[in-house]
Amino acid sequence: MAFVYHNSRRSVLSLIGAFMAASMAAAQLSSTFYDSSCPGVLSTIQTAVQSAVNQEARMGASLLRLHFHDCFVNGCDGSVLLDDTASFMGEKTAPPNNNSIRGFDVVDAIKSQVEALCPQVVSCADVLAVAARDAVVALGGPSWTVLLGRRDATTASFNTASSDLPSPLLDLSALITAFSNKGLSTTDLVALSGGHTIGQARCVTFRNRIYNENNISPSFATSTQGNCPSTAGDGDDILSPLDVQSPTAFDNFYFQGLVNQTGLLHSDQQLFNGGSTDSQVSTYSTDMAGFFNDFAAAMVNMGNISPLTGSDGEIRINCRTTN
Ligand code: HEM
Ligand SMILES: *[C@@H]1O[C@H](CO)[C@@H](O)[C@H](O)[C@H]1NC(C)=O
Ligand SMILES: *[C@@H]1O[C@H](CO)[C@@H](O)[C@H](O)[C@H]1NC(C)=O
């Protein structure tokens, strides 16, 4: 009896604690955060993202991914943007990022325009969150209101980037756990994975899938093998589109591809492999508006992961270095 009482009291207390932590963090972000301190910031970022995407459509995908890789490593705090130095090891060379994340020059260009407009007001973490939204819109995807007021970390974590960014080799249950560890639901996992409707992956990330897995369309496996040699180390960096049907359009074809067993990554096809997320994938494959709606909501949830607010952290002048 005492055990039961103690246990339930503890879970009620921890529920209250979790609720307060989540709502306090979210409450400090606000859509109007820069309305008086930097009224032009949103249009400045939007114009810069649009022109970067016009120059190279894939940049839209790369910017979206940077925000994801920022948020999953100790929260959306701009930590992913810090360069390594002789005395500082950042996140850029952690295995999930090394030779993979890109877009830093575009972020630098945006940040210097923003600094010219309003010096030391807008954080790098917020620039990433807004750029991710604008990139999705530029490629035809949904829009949403970005909550603002994040501040920038003065530290980064190679080890957390190595451990907390999900590997493309994970099975469904491990993917669900990786997102749940960040306070994101399974619905968020499936919706956010729809980010793979744009962008490219390297052969090294999907070689095993296209040569050794059975839940893959045979014609898709054959055609993808043509661009990714079976020998380990051979052609590791050759790119293939994550959504073979429309790699530069933000649409629901990624989910149609999962239903057709043309998911590129092992982790992609796990979302439609006879498990609990099949129905959500099927729904999105025929309901683009439903996917857009859930993706937008999930991006807001992801953007709320552990922001630095108030007087924590700093407003970095250069996103690559602490002040
Ligand atoms: C569910 C777990 C996820 C796994 C295992 C995963 C894994 C990967 C991998 C392995 C790549 C290719 C990297 C390379 O070869 O260099 C990639 C690319 C990409 N990912 Fe994910 N990802 C996940 C979730 C997400 C989320 C939540 C988003 C954003 C909402 C996202 C957006 C992207 C984009 C846009 C690209 C292409 C980037 C480019 O072309 O530059 N991913 N992902
Ligand atoms: C990152 O990639 C470079 C170039 O391929 C490689 O030399 C380096 O060892 C990698 N770094 C880590 C930490 O794996
Ligand atoms: C996937 O299936 C849909 C509906 O059956 C079809 O329209 C589409 O062309 C298929 N795509 C691929 C890549 O097989």
Concatenated DSSP letters of 237-287:
T-EEESSTT-TTS-SSHHHHHHHTT--SSHHHHHTTSSSTTHHHHHHHHH-
Between helices 124-138 and 41-55, what is the axis angle to 10°? Answer: 50
The single residue listed with the structure tokens 């980010």 is 195
The predicted pLDDT at position 4 comes to 31
Widest distance between CA atoms in the chain: 67
The verdict on the CB of residue 245 being under 6 Å from ligand 3 is yes
Around ligand 1, the residues with Cβ closer than 6 Å are 58, 61-62, 64-65, 68, 100, 102, 166-168, 175, 192-193, 195-196, 198-202, 205, 242, 265, 267
Q: How many whole angstroms from 41 Cα to the centroid of ligand 1?
A: 27
pTM over 0.85: yes
Paired tokens of 200: 């490219």
Q: Which atom of ligand 3 sits closest to the CA of residue 260?
A: 1
Do 147 and 29 contact (CB within 8 A), yes or no? yes
User: DSSP character for 229?
Assistant: -
Measured over the CA atoms of residue 221, residue 226, residue 230 and residue 235, the dihedral's sign is negative
H or E element that contains 296: helix 288-303
User: DSSP character for 60?
Assistant: H
Instruction: Round to whole Å and give the CA distance between 231 and 211.
Output: 10
The residue ranges of DSSP E strands in the chain, in sequence order, are 200-202, 239-241
Q: How many whole angstroms from 168 Cα to the centroid of ligand 2?
A: 19
Do 200 and 65 contact (CB within 8 A), yes or no? no
Q: Which amino acid is located at 137 in the chain?
A: V
Domain ranges of the chain: 1-166+305-323, 184-301
Q: Whose CA is nearest to atom 14 of ligand 3?
A: 260
The count of other CB atoms within 10 Å of the CB of residue 91 is 26
- Fold for domain 1-166+305-323? Peroxidase; domain 1 (1.10.520)
* Pocket-testing residue among 188, 193, 251, 264, ligand 1, by greatest number of atoms within 8 A of Cβ: 193
Per-residue CA distances from 135 to 60, 80, 301, 313, 318 (Å): 5, 18, 18, 26, 21
**Cα Rg for the chain, rounded, in angstroms?**
20
User: DSSP character for 84?
Assistant: P
Which CATH number among 1.10.1240.10, 3.40.50.300, 1.10.420.10, 3.20.20.220 corresponds to the domain 184-301? 1.10.420.10
Instruction: Round to whole Å and give the CA distance between 323 and 153.
Output: 10
Instruction: Round to whole Å and give the CA distance between 309 and 302.
Output: 16
The predicted pLDDT at position 7 comes to 34
Nearest ligand for residue 58 CA: 1
Nearest ligand for residue 190 CA: 1
Do 136 and 60 contact (CB within 8 A), yes or no? yes
Do 190 and 279 contact (CB within 8 A), yes or no? no
Q: Whose CA is nearest to atom 11 of ligand 2?
A: 93
* Pocket-testing residue among 93, 204, 236, ligand 2, by greatest number of atoms within 8 A of Cβ: 93
Nearest ligand for residue 224 CA: 3
Do 270 and 307 contact (CB within 8 A), yes or no? no
Q: What is the mean pLDDT of each run of 10 residues along the chain (323 residues)?
A: 31 41 61 98 98 98 99 98 97 98 98 98 98 99 98 98 98 98 98 98 98 98 98 97 98 98 98 98 98 98 98 98 98
Catalytic residue among 6, 67, 69, 196: 69
The predicted pLDDT at position 28 comes to 83
266 is catalytic: no
Instruction: Round to whole Å and give the CA distance between 231 and 234.
Output: 5
Q: How many whole angstroms from 260 Cα to the centroid of ligand 3?
A: 6
3-state class (DSSP) for residue 20: helix
Q: Whose CA is nearest to atom 8 of ligand 3?
A: 256
Q: Whose CA is nearest to atom 1 of ligand 3?
A: 260
Nearest ligand for residue 202 CA: 1
Of 307, 320, 323, the C-alpha closest to 92 is: 320
The count of other CB atoms within 10 Å of the CB of residue 87 is 5
